[in-house]
Structure 1
Amino acid sequence: MTADANRSNAVGATSSSLSSSNKSPNSALLAQVSHILADDLGSRAVLVTLLQLLGDRFESPLAVFEVEPAFGRLRLLLPELSKDFVDYVGLEPSGHGVRALGDWEHRVRGTSLTLLRLDATLLLGIIDIDHLHHDEYLLLEKVAPAVRVASESFLQERSRRWLSRRVRTNQRLLEGLLSVSDTTVPWLKIAREARLLTGAHSALVLEVRPNAIWVAAAVGETMRQPGDTIDRSSGLLSWVASSGESVLIGSLADRSTTNTSAINSVRGETENDSAVVVPVFDTTRSLTALIALFSPQPYRFSARDLQTASELARFAGAIVAQRQTLSFVAAGQERSELAAEVLDLMVDGVALIDGEQRIALHNRAFALLHGGVGNASLRGKPITQFESEHSQPTSEQGAAVAEEERRRLDGSTFVAESYRRQFVDPASGTSGTLIAVRDIQERNVERQRVRRLAHIDPLTGLNNRAGFFELAGECFESDDDKLVGLLFIDVDGLKIVNDQFGHAIGDRVLSEVANRIRTSMRPLDVIGRIGGDEFAVLVTGMDSTRVIRQVGERLAAAISFSPVVVGSIELRVTAAVGVATGTTATIDLDQLMSVADSAMYQDKFSRLRPDLLHLHRGAHDAVEIELGPDLVRVLRGDERGGGLLLRFQPLFDTRSRAITAVEALVRWQHPKEGLLLPGRFLSLALQYRLMDQLDAFVRAEAMTRFSRWRAAGLGGQMRMSINLSGVNAAESRTVRDFCQLADRLEIPRDMIVVELTETELSDLLIDRIARIMRRLKSEGFLIALDDFGVGTSSFRHLQIMPVDIVKIDRQFVKDLGSGGDRGLVAGLTALASELGISVVAEGVGDQGCLDVLVELGVPEVQGFHLARPLREAALLKLLGKEGEASTLG
């Protein structure tokens, strides 16, 4: 079954499952959209299925456009599936849409093309929707957020695939750059790679000569053939060859280009609608070649393709320079008195070997290298006298530069680098084999020294990755079957240290960690720094796997035993340690490393490692590492760290304005910095693995206050909303803690809302978090999802998480009163409500915003316009209980 058939079946199955329900057509559509987004079809299939579904529903083709910044135009995101748009945009399917992006509707050839802006670079286009009713147009606005999410996922996946192709291309070109097998430039390979990366219909590589441009390689749909010449007096290629400037042609018909000086040269050169041409320079900045890409489709190429071609040109220039050097080394065919003098001044030994394999001619250096004296001392001697059994045969033609062992007249040997090439002088008829020899004995000694240094990490003095794997690999080469253990160590939060204090401080931390590892292990253990913040230790000679695991535990404790002090900065360092064991007869080093790597990640999970969280930090949310010691103190009850306290922000019913819930928000009263908001210390708590204590404080304090209010008859049916960090949401003990505290304080469980922030939900832990949330829900608690709509996995979260409430992120709400995008909020609200989930709009900053939310039917709201986070007394006063406020303190 084809992929398209599978997608059609997916839509059909969803439709049939909902057609028998009692839902309205609009509700059914929203439910289908939600199911499509949650399906694991792949990003492209999800977008295709979604556009097909909406096209059928609105009886009009839909397509997604992306902005092409190089030309200020629009480009179809899926041109092969948007052929209906060809007649309306006046271009081929891969072409642009319309020039102006500020308007919502455009007339193209008398037909309406409506564009709905999804975000800064994406627009949803629909053809001829004059037949739609107002309600259907509003429905289209409601599903627009779903199209945005699917489109962004598709773009991310497309970018990953392109980067993967770039990596493979770079590897192949680097192999060509390092190759010295011949002196030719692999133009055909470069042309193929350029066409592959850019999707061009044809690719040419052309060598630039004084009077003409010569086709060196041609691939794809082109009439040009290798060997063809192109006049340098006119045309696009001539313009680039003369100016040395790159050019990107978007469309010949529109005369659209990134270099207006080139557009007048295009006509007469090619009938292609779009092109990319870049120059290739050698190391002397001489223009030697051109890389040219063509397509009959307008706007086929983008700024990224121009950048790609330019990078390939730099590769090509490096190869040209290298081949020129090799050709120069091999050349020795000029015979003149000057050439002879130059030969004698050369450091390299050069000799001509005749057909009988005897030395016919050599320079002074060749004689000295082989133990002779004077220019004539070795003439007539067989070349085999100076070659070992490992030398290259002198009859081999075009041999590569090779290392070999050579003999001197006294029988001693030396290591040399040699090059052989057939020599023929047409003028004199002289022929033979030209050999060039260079003594590399000292270079090899230096190479060995460099090799030793290359295996040592200069920062820590430990083995680097190469050195570690070489020494550790030796343990697996013997025939002995012995027990080995591998400790894989990952230092926590080094990136945060580098960002906050600079790499110099980060390097000091790494050096100290290396010292602690070195002093904790035995001299016979192999220790290495194998990555930026990763270390590995191979342990041998242990009696049991239990002992090796104990060594891993002791090593983790040694790393975090005391803070790292750098000047006035005191940093608490922790690390995740993975342990893998096996015998050398049953497991190899790579397998052992893989198991230890997996074990290290498990240790990260169990230790609530913050690096696994997708933390959203704005410009004012920097991690304040210098506050770390005080945060540790305050959570231990030490008054020197200040104190933690709560503020309470109400949620209101949009119709009655009654308070329906309050959200408990933590604050830190620091002794020097004053009152700190969570943005100053939450990330720090994650780095120091203090989220467990912080969540416990907020949970206990908020529920205790809530219990007192209820006992005093305050609040009625008002709920208490308590934030839970993503790391603790994955821990099973969280269920027990909430249940025990609610029962002890006699709080009905359905009055407690456990609130998760969507941007903190790690994709690696989401299934585990979902299980824990289902357990909490089964115990009677309500589950809320904060910052809804920000992440690309929002709709998947709704499918797998037992969510009762979603809180639409403030970025979609704050501008509603001043003409913001109502469609996004309406769409998010409709999709959530369709799944039986209540909706709260955050960030209500003015009355105009509130009025729009009431009109859209959003049931609950929260924001500064209604109430800021309040002290307990101020909240109770707002509830109209001033007397009780003073009683409760």
Structure 2
Amino acid sequence: MTEAPALGALATPVSVISADTEVGVIEALLRTHPESIGLVASDAGRLFVLDRPQLETFLAGRLGYGRALLFHRPVRVLLGASALVLPAAMPWDDAARACLARPAPDRGTPVVVELGGGRLGIAPVGPLVEHLSRQYESLALRDALTGLGNRRMLTETAGAMLDAGRQVALLLIDLDRFKEINDSLGHSRGDQLLGKVAEALGPAHTFRLGGDEFVVLTDNLGDGSGDYLTGLGRRLLRAIQGPFVVAGVPITVEASLGIARTAAGRRTLSDLLAGADTAMYAAKRHRTAVEVWRPEFAAEQGIDLRLQSELRAAVDQGQLELHYQRLVDARTGETRSLEALVRWRHPRHGLLLPGVFVPGAERSEVINPLTDRILADAIGQAARWHHAGRPVPVAVNLPAPVLAQDRIVEVIRGLLAWHGLPGRSLIVEITESAVMTRPEESAERLRRLREQGVRVAVDDFGAGYTSLALLTQLPLDELKLDRAFVQRIHHDRDRAIVDAVAAMARGLGLTLVAEGVEDQATADILAGAGFDLLQGYHFGRPMPPDRLETVAA
């Protein structure tokens, strides 16, 4: 939104005359300075404005005798209410509001402006009121927080483009885990982050729908292919990635983006918004960041919404089950720990993997009872192995909304005590983004868990953008390299990254784990690079506890 100019830019310097000055002298002065809109008079320390139209009215008088009657009278007899005196630095819209707050007869009278150094000026009211009127018109089309276009402006802009027959694409951006930022840093800090995202997007055909949703509307479709639009979406996500420093915390923005373009049967703004919204939720569900609308997404969304409504009942009715995947010693191949991975045995859809229901659960309150259930089952199973003489540690992922609450420390403490299990039998895995908003508070909760003997691992390291310095602030035991790097380890450039991570982990005294190991050749390279533990299909798929071939430590 354009910043309002200062009142001093509108003011004309003026000399102050005495209220004893004769009216005839005042008339002569105004005739000598035809550009002047009026004069300022002083009477007993008070300032008054006598503007040109007002004086001409008085001089005309009843039956035209005003000039003869007033010519030698002091101007004091014509003065009304004291002048409104405003500072030169006051913005026009504030000055206009001050003018309009005066009694009705005085609202059009020019204002006196303090120019500094004892100098005064005089400014007309008309331009101020016109400016304020334009501001109100702009506010009706602009988002008050970011200055971007609002939904009304989007409706008008899109309507004009579509009515003209232009082909357009609508890109809907939704910030991931924004609620956590608001809850952790406060809504005022969340607003600051939204403002920084808006600046990064730029004003051209960019709109804020409300909350943490933004829209970009474009008729630049390139070759019109999905690949071109996907590339455009990824460039926008990179533009808003940051990190942005808010309240001293560097926050990397993660977002999901859905795209819909005009096509047969989709020629209205409502259709485009609905399509982009469906594609955006598909991007969240599949963790692809960007998706272009496809017909199958509509069916997926319907299933996803039904699943989320059924998930709480599934937790209570015991439909969730845990499968366990081995983490093996990189040199001996012996099992060192097991990761618990949740599955949902749905009565209609069969066995569902976590990617189908966990992302949605993380956006709702059901994530707490879901995580409680997983922890209870995993610790219970670890206790059964432990008491049978097979003390293999079990790892459980703690989602970001769960780690953001103090209760998780007591939940784990109570479960370990109930099963008579030492803390070293449990490993909690966190993601980089889970600790980004309030690293000090997250670190404190993790320290309290480690005091119980629980080990802490960073999962999917390299998938986010956490600073390496943050790793030194967290109480960590393990670092799990994201599978994307492992799968590209045969390329020299990516091998260099893996070697650097391995060296850093050794320097920090961390156990280094590689995920997604698919073959022996990759396992050999990782072992040679100094990795301690390996995990992947090469060593076995996740399976129920009764099917594990071995759980020996």
**How many angstroms does 1:855 deviate by?**
1.9
Q: Deviations over 1:406-464 (max 9, x none)?
A: xxxxxx956435599xxxxxxxxxxxxxx9988899x79x98x999x99x9999xxxx9
Q: Which amino acid aligns with 2:408?
A: T
Structure 2 equivalent of residue 855 of structure 1? 528
Checking the alignment, whether the CA contact within 8 Å between 1:628 and 1:688 is kept in structure 2 is no
Q: Which amino acid aligns with 1:807?
A: K
Structure 2 equivalent of residue 738 of structure 1? 412
Which of 108, 113, 120 is the equivalent residue of 1:416?
A: 108
- Give the TM-score normalised by the residue count of structure 2: 0.50
Structure 1 equivalent of residue 373 of structure 2? 697
Q: Aligned pair in 2 of structure 1 residues 533, 353: CA closer, same or farther (>3 Å)?
A: same
Which of 319, 323, 327 is the equivalent residue of 1:651?
A: 327
* Cα distance in 2 for residues equivalent to 1:763 and 1:858: 30
Q: Deviations over 1:58-91 (max 9, x none)?
A: xxxxxxxxxxxxxxxxxxxxxxxxxxxxxxxxxx
* Cα distance in 2 for residues equivalent to 1:822 and 1:660: 25
Structure 1 equivalent of residue 504 of structure 2? 831
* Cα distance in 2 for residues equivalent to 1:776 and 1:530: 31
Structure 2: where are the runs of 5+ without partners? 14-24, 36-51, 86-91, 113-121, 146-171, 176-186, 193-210, 212-249, 258-281, 286-300
Which of 311, 323, 331 is the equivalent residue of 1:634?
A: 311
**How many angstroms does 1:404 deviate by?**
8.6
2:460 equivalent to 1:768: no
Superposed CA RMSD in Å reads 5.8
**How many angstroms does 1:853 deviate by?**
0.8
* Cα distance in 2 for residues equivalent to 1:617 and 1:684: 15
Q: Deviations over 1:233-253 (max 9, x none)?
A: xxxxxxxxxxxxxxxxxxxxx
Structure 2 equivalent of residue 867 of structure 1? 540
**How many angstroms does 1:743 deviate by?**
4.1
1:505-654 to 2 correspondence within 5 Å?
Answer: 621-622=283-284, 627=304, 630-631=307-308, 633-637=310-314, 643-654=319-330
2:455 equivalent to 1:782: yes
Which of 752, 755, 762 is the equivalent residue of 2:426?
A: 752
* Cα distance in 1 for residues equivalent to 2:346 and 2:429: 26
* Cα distance in 2 for residues equivalent to 1:740 and 1:812: 37
**How many angstroms does 1:663 deviate by?**
0.7
Checking the alignment, whether the CA contact within 8 Å between 2:427 and 2:456 is kept in structure 1 is yes
1:252-401 to 2 correspondence within 5 Å?
Answer: 355=28, 370=57, 382=71, 384=75, 388=80, 390=82
Structure 2 equivalent of residue 480 of structure 1? none
2:550 equivalent to 1:879: yes
Structure 1: where are the runs of 5+ without partners? 1-166, 184-351, 394-399, 406-411, 421-434, 466-496, 501-528, 535-572, 574-611, 882-889
- Give the TM-score normalised by the residue count of structure 1: 0.33
Checking the alignment, whether the CA contact within 8 Å between 2:324 and 2:341 is kept in structure 1 is yes
Q: Deviations over 1:141-187 (max 9, x none)?
A: xxxxxxxxxxxxxxxxxxxxxxxxxx9xx96xx5469832369xxxx
Structure 2 equivalent of residue 822 of structure 1? 495
- SS class of match (1:694): helix
**Size of the alignment, in residue pairs?**
367
**How many angstroms does 1:391 deviate by?**
6.0
- SS class of match (1:817): coil
**How many angstroms does 1:760 deviate by?**
0.9
Q: Aligned pair in 2 of structure 1 residues 807, 438: CA closer, same or farther (>3 Å)?
A: closer
**How many angstroms does 1:857 deviate by?**
2.0
**Quick one: higher RCO (CA 8 Å, sep 6+), 1 or 2?**
2
Structure 2 equivalent of residue 843 of structure 1? 516
Structure 2 equivalent of residue 58 of structure 1? none
* Cα distance in 1 for residues equivalent to 2:7 and 2:127: 23
1:672-683 to 2 correspondence within 5 Å?
Answer: 676-683=352-359
Structure 1 equivalent of residue 297 of structure 2? none
Checking the alignment, whether the CA contact within 8 Å between 2:61 and 2:67 is kept in structure 1 is no
Q: Which amino acid aligns with 2:312?
A: L
Checking the alignment, whether the CA contact within 8 Å between 1:788 and 1:809 is kept in structure 2 is yes
Structure 2 equivalent of residue 554 of structure 1? none
1:36-55 to 2 correspondence within 5 Å?
Answer: none
* Cα distance in 2 for residues equivalent to 1:752 and 1:695: 14
* Cα distance in 1 for residues equivalent to 2:384 and 2:127: 86
Which of 398, 401, 421 is the equivalent residue of 1:724?
A: 398
Structure 2 equivalent of residue 180 of structure 1? 10
**How many angstroms does 1:616 deviate by?**
5.4
- The percentage of aligned residue pairs carrying the same residue is 26
* Cα distance in 2 for residues equivalent to 1:880 and 1:827: 32
Checking the alignment, whether the CA contact within 8 Å between 2:516 and 2:536 is kept in structure 1 is yes
**How many angstroms does 1:807 deviate by?**
0.9
* Cα distance in 2 for residues equivalent to 1:374 and 1:359: 26
Q: Aligned pair in 2 of structure 1 residues 389, 808: CA closer, same or farther (>3 Å)?
A: same
- SS class of match (1:649): strand
* Cα distance in 1 for residues equivalent to 2:33 and 2:535: 96
**How many angstroms does 1:367 deviate by?**
9.1
Q: Aligned pair in 2 of structure 1 residues 805, 746: CA closer, same or farther (>3 Å)?
A: same
**How many angstroms does 1:699 deviate by?**
0.7
**How many angstroms does 1:733 deviate by?**
4.2
Checking the alignment, whether the CA contact within 8 Å between 2:488 and 2:495 is kept in structure 1 is no
* Cα distance in 1 for residues equivalent to 2:518 and 2:385: 28
**How many angstroms does 1:696 deviate by?**
0.8
* Cα distance in 1 for residues equivalent to 2:440 and 2:34: 78
2:480 equivalent to 1:807: yes
Checking the alignment, whether the CA contact within 8 Å between 1:613 and 1:726 is kept in structure 2 is no
Q: Aligned pair in 2 of structure 1 residues 627, 789: CA closer, same or farther (>3 Å)?
A: closer
Q: Which amino acid aligns with 2:444?
A: R
Q: Deviations over 1:108-158 (max 9, x none)?
A: xxxxxxxxxxxxxxxxxxxxxxxxxxxxxxxxxxxxxxxxxxxxxxxxxxx
* Cα distance in 2 for residues equivalent to 1:742 and 1:833: 30
* Cα distance in 2 for residues equivalent to 1:650 and 1:667: 16
- SS class of match (1:857): coil
Q: Which amino acid aligns with 2:284?
A: A
